[in-house]
Amino acid sequence: DSGVTQTPKHLITATGQRVTLRCSPRSGDLSVYWYQQSLDQGLQFLIQYYNGEERAKGNILERFSAQQFPDLHSELNLSSLELGDSALYFCASSVVPYGYTFGSGTRLTVV
């Protein structure tokens, strides 16, 4: 157990739908990072939050959004889902820029 908790582990949904992925960071970590992993693109950085504020954005689509709550857990919202959004979604947390711990991921399948 890495200390970073992601739910759900698996999600199957239809195109056009909206889903929410949840991440609880390791105790004491203020930063949360979201990544998308697909076979063709590899592990792609989506967005980072630090203590409730957005800090950095990567290759995140406009249909995707995220937020970090006062208790530091984070949610990644994916809307108007397309087949190509099927992927593994990971979150990671860190307390300083140089220590990253990953959760076990959420496998999203869009049918």
Partner 1 sequence: SQELEQSPQSLIVQEGKNLTINCTSSKTLYGLYWYKQKYGEGLIFLMMLQKGGEEKSHEKITAKLDEKKQQSSLHITASQPSHAGIYLCGAAMESGGSNYKLTFGKGTLLTVNP
Residue ranges binding partner 1 (CB under 8 A): 2, 33, 35, 42-43, 45, 48, 55-56, 58, 88, 90, 92, 97-105, 107
Are the C-beta atoms of 22 and 43 separated by less than 8 Å? no
Minimum CB–partner distance for residue 107 and partner 1 (Å): 7
CA dist 46 and 49 (Å) reads 11
**Closest CB to partner 1 among residues 80, 111:** 111
**Which lies closer to partner 1 via its Cβ, residue 43 or residue 111?**
43
Question: How do beta strands 106-110 and 10-13 pair?
Answer: parallel
Least separation in angstroms between CB 26 and partner 1: 12
Min separation Cβ 53 and partner 1, Å: 11
Q: Is the dihedral of CA 23, 101, 65, 51 positive or negative?
A: positive
Cβ at position 71, least distance to partner 1 in Å:
22
Nearer to partner 1, 62 or 98 (CB): 98
CA 111 – CA 109 distance, rounded (Å): 6
CA distance 98 to 64: 26
